[in-house]
């Protein structure tokens, strides 16, 4: 069974991508807005190349031209009958373009796409190994360029989604830790405030407590003296004898 070389598979794959881009480039404003806001768009739009419908190998000039064309197509000014949805679509396009202008962010996106391709290639090799082991023809569905493209597309979107989920989990964890640290900080401040107030009250009432104690002691001594006087036995008069 003839299997096309990997280089030919890539050539066919990118040719297919170009054909899809050419087809989708003539979508109307409404169709583009629908595409950008379709169910699951929050994950589909994680791939900036998917948002802009442009080849990952496109030049900066091609990227700029594509952004201008697509942003004009979905801009709220051009879609005044649907301002809210067109605004969201425009924001998705703008976000994707700005991401690809950042070399580091663009590299990360390309790394995800390349990882998706490598994964599919690995799975194709594993399938062929298993087929060879079983003595079966080495044909796999990914030999069809369209099926190969779809497999890469699905795996790429899966990777983008997994990265986004991990990012959100990390963000939630960091937010929780910041909240807990803030709560501990507030509690420590309140404890310190209560301690200062207690110390202040203690200092302010100290003289009063001392005077009260002295008065109490003085009253005690006076009462004790009176009690001793009250309990003093009466003098016994001597009887006179006749």
Residue 80 belongs to a domain? yes
Q: Helical H runs in the chain?
A: 6-24, 29-36, 41-44, 48-52, 60-74, 83-101, 103-133, 145-204, 206-230
Residue 204 has a pLDDT of 76
- The pLDDT confidence band at residue 8, using thresholds 50, 70 and 90, is low
% of the chain beyond a pLDDT of 70:
76
Residue 139 located in a structural domain: no
Residue 129 lies in a domain: no
Is the pLDDT at 13 greater than 50, yes or no? no
Whether the CB-CB separation of 75 and 122 falls below 8 Å is answered with no
Total domains in the fold of the chain: 1
Question: Per residue in 190-222, pLDDT tens?
Answer: 998 888 888 888 877 777 766 776 777 766 666
Domain membership of residue 201 (yes or no) is no
Residue 198 lies in a domain: no
Q: Hey, what's the torsion of the CAs at 35, 57, 62, 48, to 10 degrees?
A: 30
Q: pLDDT for 38-52, tens place per residue?
A: 998 888 899 999 999
Q: Which structural domain, as residue segments, surrounds residue 56?
A: 19-101
What are the distances in angstroms from CA 236 to CA 228, 233, 239, 242?
18, 9, 9, 19
Average pLDDT, the chain: 83
Q: Indicate the pTM of the whole model.
A: 0.61
40 sits in the region (left: phi over 0; alpha: psi -120 to 50; else beta) called left
**Domain at 95, CATH number:** 1.10.287
93-143: pLDDT as tens digits:
999 999 999 999 999 999 999 999 999 999 999 999 999 999 999 899 999
Lowest mean per-residue pLDDT among 36-40, 145-149, 207-211, 231-235: 231-235
The label of the residue with tokens 């890539």 reads: 10
- Confidence band for 234, pLDDT divided at 50, 70 and 90: low
Is residue 188, in this structure, part of any structural domain at all? no
Q: How many CB atoms lie within 10 A of CB 97?
A: 20
Least confident among 5-14, 105-114, 161-170, 204-213: 5-14
The answer to the question of residue 31 being in a domain is: yes
Q: Let me know if residue 127 belongs to a domain.
A: no
């Amino acid at each position: 069974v003839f299997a096309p070389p990997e280089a030919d598979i890539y050539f066919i794959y990118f040719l297919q991508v170009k054909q899809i881009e050419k087809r989708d480039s003539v979508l109307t404003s409404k169709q583009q807005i629908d595409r950008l806001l379709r169910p699951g768009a929050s994950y589909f739009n994680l791939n900036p190349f998917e948002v802009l419908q442009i080849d990952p190998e496109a030049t900066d000039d091609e990227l700029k031209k594509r952004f201008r064309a697509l942003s004009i197509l979905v801009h709220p000014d051009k879609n005044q009958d649907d301002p809210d949805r067109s605004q969201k679509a425009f924001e998705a396009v703008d976000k994707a373009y700005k991401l690809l202008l950042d070399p580091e962010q663009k590299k990360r996106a390309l790394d995800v796409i390349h990882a998706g391709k490598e994964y599919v290639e690995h799975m194709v090799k594993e399938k062929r190994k298993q087929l060879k082991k079983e003595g079966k023809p080495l044909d796999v569905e990914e030999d069809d360029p369209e099926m190969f493209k779809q497999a890469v597309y699905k795996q790429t979107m899966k990777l983008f989604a997994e990265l986004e989920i991990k990012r959100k989990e990390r963000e939630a964890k960091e937010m929780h830790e910041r909240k807990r640290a803030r709560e501990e900080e507030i509690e420590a401040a309140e404890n310190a405030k209560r301690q200062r107030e207690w110390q202040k009250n203690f200092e302010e009432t100290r003289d009063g407590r001392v005077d009260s104690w002295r008065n109490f002691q003085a009253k005690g001594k006076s009462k004790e003296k009176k009690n001793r006087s009250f309990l003093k036995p009466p003098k016994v008069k001597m009887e006179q004898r006749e």
